[in-house]
Amino acid sequence: MKRWSWLPSCTISATCSRRTTTVKWPAAVLRPYVSERTYWVIRQHGLFQTYYYAHHMGGDRNARDRYIDHPWYQDAVDFCHRWDQPSFDPDYDTLTLEFFEPAVRRVFAREPFSAGREQP
């Protein structure tokens, strides 16, 4: 998985997630413009993110393991570990949203995926 391919999806997901409590909405917005793999990871990352905090609140930090045999399981683990989880650290050196704007614009400039067209 190339890191740059996830940047627009991370940015859009993070921005949308700040405005809603569900990750399904950002995933639905992205779906026509990204691969099924990226869509699945974005849609599931809320559950995968609970690995980092659920056990502190009496929850099951390994709830994500219900998908352990899914072909994109490790992609979701990596997405959360490399990009999503560090974004909660106030001391993490983050780039501005403006930095990601060209990449986000490229994603939405694509012709949306439809049944007759191959995915990006």
Contacts of 9 (CB under 8 A, 6+ apart): 30, 34, 38, 41, 42, 107
- Domain assignment of residue 37, yes or no: yes
pLDDT of residue 117: 53
pLDDT digits (tens, 9 = 90+) for 13-72: 555 444 445 567 778 888 888 888 988 998 898 899 999 999 999 999 999 999 999 999
Reference 5, options 85, 104, 98, 84; nearest CA is 104
DSSP letter for 19, please.
Answer: T
Sequence-distant (6+) residues with CB within 8 A of 73 are 64, 67
- Residue 114 pLDDT > 60, yes or no? yes
Diameter over CA atoms, the chain: 46
More confident residue, 74 or 108: 74
Asked whether residue 116 is assigned to any structural domain, the reply reads no
Total domains in the chain come to 1
Is 83 in contact with 10 (CB distance < 8 Å)? yes
Q: Encode pLDDT of 60-106 as tens digits.
A: 999 999 999 999 999 999 989 988 777 778 888 878 888 888 888 88
DSSP 86: G
Position 119 in a domain: no
Domain span holding position 23 = 3-109
Asked whether the beta carbons of 85 and 49 are under 8 A apart, the reply is yes
Residue 71 within any structural domain of the chain: yes
In a domain, 57, yes or no: yes
- Residue 114 falls within a domain, yes or no? no
